[in-house]
Structure 1
Amino acid sequence: DVIFIAVGTPAQDDGSCDLSYVKAVAGCIGTHLNDYKVIVDKSTVPVGTGKQVRQIIQAELDRRGESIEFDVVSNPEFLREGKAIRDCLTPDRVVIGAESEKAIDIMKKVYGVLYINQTPFLITNLETAEMIKYASNAFLAVKISFINEMALLADKVGANVQEIARGMGMDGRISPKFLHAGPGYGGSCFPKDTKAIIDIAHQYSEEMLVIQAAINANEKQKQKISQRIISTISKDLVIQETTFAIWGLSFKPDTDDMRDAPSIDIINALVSEGAKIRAFCPQGMKEAKWRLKEIEGSITYCDNEYDAAKGSDALILMTEWHQFRGAYLEKVKSVMKNNYFFDLRNVFSKNPEIRSMFKYSG
């Protein structure tokens, strides 16, 4: 009854989506379709892709001389890396963009358990469903860039960005989610989708000024953090003789995804100044070795967080993996050569002893 299209739509050099896989699947469906089906697009695709899928399938049917009824539905996924099963079983909402009641009824049956459990369903047209996914991710990227800019200013004026975020998050209109200052966003969604929606807007002679500002701020955040680390270290040490321990390489915990991870930019910036790196990540090591291959001579990949800290001058907590939260800081300090600690995720900022043990910067 239902055929799901769930293929990648990687970003091209100009920021637009590569729809070749979606179109190839659509052509294959048109070649083999033999009775009524609902064709469901789960991939993140630009507005108007549903209509393109319909046209491709219909063109194949016409070529075959067949007259077969079918419907195209947009049903974007909102899964988070590392929490995909949970998000699938208990979603915030189910978005269905459809053009016929028949297709809507079938989709409700597909999600029957969720429908019974009163998961919110939003029924809309194809174009709206396609844009909801982009708008959602773009808004979250804006939110991250916003709190990161607040963090830069808070650092200058002596304010606590964590308390700022907490105070903002208490407002029901804002919510505390995604108000966590850090080295910037990365991964498979936010960088790709923000650029894609800007490309879509350009096709219709519109500008996405806020989203473009979020992209710019995200790039600036990684540069600012790199500059702050280098500047701080250079006051006491020779950067070319400095070894940095990196805790966490993937763009977020519970995944090995290194796509557009802030660690890549920051490590490259440190190595370009002559520094050496000792790195550990619970899942991201294999991917990191590939993405940082050009500077592999400057990086030692370690067995655990303590091994990474051994002989280092400065520790950078890049990704807030749970196991780092339970690290024995006394042991960490004892194996380090110097005691600089850059906590880019503010994991230890409330530890009462952290500033007496390390030259700590949150």
Structure 2
Amino acid sequence: MHFIQRAAAAMTLATPLLLGASAFAQQQSPLKIGLLGDFQSVYSDIGGPGNVEAAKMAIEEMGGTMFGKPIEFISADVQNKPDIAASLARKWYENEGVDMIVDLPTSATALAAMEMSKRFEKIMIVTDAASSDITGKSCSPYTAHWTYDTYSNAHTVGSAIVKNGGDTWFFITADYLFGHSVERDTGEVVKAAGGKVLGSTRHPLNNADFSSFLLQAQSSKAKIIGMANGGGDTINTIKQAAEFGIVAGGQKLAGIVMFISDIHSLGLKMANGLIITEAYYWDLNDRTREFGKKFHDRMKRMPTMNQAATYSATLHYLKAVKAANSKDTKTVLAKMRETPVRDAFTDNGFLREDGRMVHSMFLFEVKKPEESKAPWDYYKMLAEVPGDQAFRPLKDGGCPLVKAE
């Protein structure tokens, strides 16, 4: 009897010691970050290798270590395929000790990987994909959406164009979730402002020939041709529209989701006059210029908003881990939400309960060649749109995590 009592007492004493050892082991295991991106296809220019460098810059800024051990970093190409994104996310979370995954180049890959994030209760920060569904009906308690979304871009660009007389629209749409979301969200803005959507046409991702789609847009007689696509598809649309004389014929192109890398590829002679929205521009203030210069030193080009956001998201995550002194998902997420986002990407950001990181968006007009004073001097700012005006109100997203008031 005494032996049983002694054994029970020993087990009682051992329990907190075991729990302490477990917590200690977790603290001592290396922090590991994974990046799932597009390195060879239509979105590699706006994210890709630049996102890798941006994440590394954040890790270096934090000293490169956490819990006394080097922070580990891995990356992989999802080939813009949801099944590959889900498979890699599962492997990394389940078997390779990855604590956080960042990037995700398309909405479909993001939503697929988010399912693994939920299953394994690990953090994911989406910096490239754009669908507003990520923080809407498909929101997750473990996912943050950092850079922009189809709602913010539609409201920033779409409403400005309609106010300036562009009240009839035709969409050239990438035929997958991202394109559909851009067309839907922008169409709603146009209609709410009193405009009309005359029609749309859909093309495959990473398309080469836009002639049939442009002819449909031309014959619609719409004042505005909304490009509900991104990256290389947007560049090809604009180049081929010039060949068809669409802008010369009186119609205007609306770049709903465009990046400084797109303007660089097109050149100011072709891109000047475009009205676009971005979350970041290297020449906004001293902090954006400092980050832009450091990035340029490494990549020989200025960062896109996605690349600046990948730096920001990685840095904010690392700061939260350090402040919490823990890798525990819920503890770190709570710290991320209670801490304002203040860095080279934004000076007024905060993370909402639906996963949306809210911050200012900017409306720009692309400069004429003679207005540009230096390489990458491409934009003149028309307006700064506060985050509470640019992003969808929390109550309107349909996110199941948001409690009804």
TM-score by length of 1: 0.36
Of Structure 1 and Structure 2, the greater strand share is in: 2
Higher relative contact order (CA closer than 8 Å, sequence separation 6+): 2
TM-score by length of 2: 0.33
